Amino acid sequence: MFQKILIANRGEIALRIQRACREMGIRTVAVHSTADAAAMHVRLADESVCIGPPAARDSYLNVPSILSAATITGADAIHPGYGFLSENASFAEMVEAHGLTFIGPSPAHIRMMGDKIAAKAAMGALGVPLVPGSAGAIADIDEARRIASDIGYPVLIKAAAGGGGRGMKVAAGPDELEEAWQLARTEARAAFGNDAVYMEKYLDRPRHIELQILADNFGQVVHFGERDCSLQRRHQKLLEEAGSPALTPGQRDALGSTVTAALSQLGYRNAGTLEFLYQDGHFAFIEMNTRLQVEHPVTEMVCGVDLVREQIRIAAGRRLSYEQSEIAFTGHAIECRITAENPETFMPTPGRVTAFHAPGGLGVRVDSALYAGYVVPPYYDSMVAKLIVHAPTRAEAIARLRRSLAEFAVVGIETTVPLHQRIVEHPDFIAGQYTIHWLERFVSQQG
């Protein structure tokens, strides 16, 4: 087993990984920008190294600095968390070239899934159902017109290198196609330095349902069921549930078998999530994330698994701790992503937290790096806490979520706690009846 792991991240996820390491008796190295010198992930680590100035490109994305920090501290492995370098295949290669272990999939699989066109082609060939669309990149507007009229409007133009909902444009009909195509390419070029785009049928009322998998180096792949992440704003998830209010255990098992068989054939290793759109009883694959996800705790709660511990064990060459038949789904879990933003305008609200009280009690988990006196810096993602509740039934989980949100106290800055409080009171949410478009409408009606 590793003696020391460098955690190439910040905030709640750096703490989350540190906690798993501590329980496994592994020492931790935190890295931080000058803006994060007083951050909780630095305070609680065994060692810490400053890797650069505040801007992420100079610190948390600064590969030479991070590799030097690992070498100087004698770390054996690097955990990338999510975001930052977690899906950067070249980084994973460089980590390995330095004789360190990258806690994640092989660079080849990261690269394959980072190109959504390649990812869809690979998954389609392995029998995973896809959203109807172009077979590959679209060369020109004439080809775009042909494919759109084949699959039928509305269509969605998406960036091959896409992420975070960027480089995605809808065309409701033929008149809008050229503009959508141009805009998607421009946005993709600016955001990813790659203007390759492809086309999908734009589904009008799907749910976003994703499946968590783990694979070891011995060809064993298991799944830990689904998460429903349909509550999104600007294609960004706000609240996630395990399991989905829309699926039966039979549907989960069937999807799980298809996916684990495909990944086993692919020779995939470590953690991964396959994202699907689900509408009218059909699943359609949209992309695979080759890392730990923000919303992984809801799966941990219903399965009683520590996904980070499993990632570390797999990277150290151990076999999976679970057979599929040993994975049971108990109760229901819901996560709220709480951000330092105004709950109506979504303007970021960085600044000093003067007082902080996290809810607790049975079935409540708060993953956060907040503390009283902490100054939320303006440079990074605005998520400051994840509130996760677990209860025997969905109705009880909602009741627990309500009382936990009411206990949540962050003083000094505004957060989105009030928005979550409104969502969990809504009859559609209570009934579990929502699609990926629901939250956008709800938010626009609030103002």
List phi, psi (to 5°) of 297: -60, -30
Between CA 365 and CA 300 the distance in angstroms is 11
Nearest to 51 by CA among 38, 39, 35, 69: 69
CB burial class (10 A; 0-12, 13-18, 19+) of residue 267? Answer: middle
Residue number, 46 or 440, with CB nearest to ligand ADP = 440
Between CA 134 and CA 142 the distance in angstroms is 13
CB of 196 to ligand ADP, least distance (A): 14
CB of 82 to ligand ADP, least distance (A): 12
Residue number, 64 or 164, with CB nearest to ligand ADP = 164
DSSP state of 321: S
Which residues, 6+ apart, have CB-to-CB distance to 242 below 8 Å?
225, 226, 227, 228, 298, 299, 301, 302, 329, 332, 333
Residue number, 131 or 419, with CB nearest to ligand ADP = 131
CB of 70 to ligand ADP, least distance (A): 28
- Residue located via tokens 């799907």: 206
Residue number, 100 or 117, with CB nearest to ligand ADP = 117
| 3-state helix/strand/coil string of 361-374 | CCCEEEEECCCCCC
Catalytic residue among 16, 185, 291, 313: 291
Could you tell me if 194 and 209 are in contact, meaning their C-beta atoms sit under 8 angstroms apart? no
Residue number, 114 or 331, with CB nearest to ligand ADP = 114
Nearest to 79 by CA among 138, 18, 127: 18
CB of 115 to ligand ADP, least distance (A): 12
Q: Is the dihedral of CA 102, 107, 111, 112 positive or negative?
A: negative
Q: Which residues bind ligand ADP (CB under 6 A)?
A: 131, 156, 162-165, 200-203, 206, 208, 232, 235, 275, 277, 286-287, 436
- 291 in active site: yes
**Which residues lie across from 227 on neighbouring strands?**
210
CB of 279 to ligand ADP, least distance (A): 9
Provide the 3-class DSSP secondary structure of residue 417.
helix
CB of 156 to ligand ADP, least distance (A): 5
CB of 120 to ligand ADP, least distance (A): 10
Residue number, 200 or 240, with CB nearest to ligand ADP = 200
Residue number, 333 or 436, with CB nearest to ligand ADP = 436
- Residue located via tokens 């995939």: 268
Cα 334–Cα 340–Cα 343 angle in degrees, nearest 5: 75
Cite the beta strand spans of 246-394 per DSSP E: 270-279, 282-289, 332-339, 351-352, 355-357, 364-368, 375-376, 383-391
Active-site residue list: 291
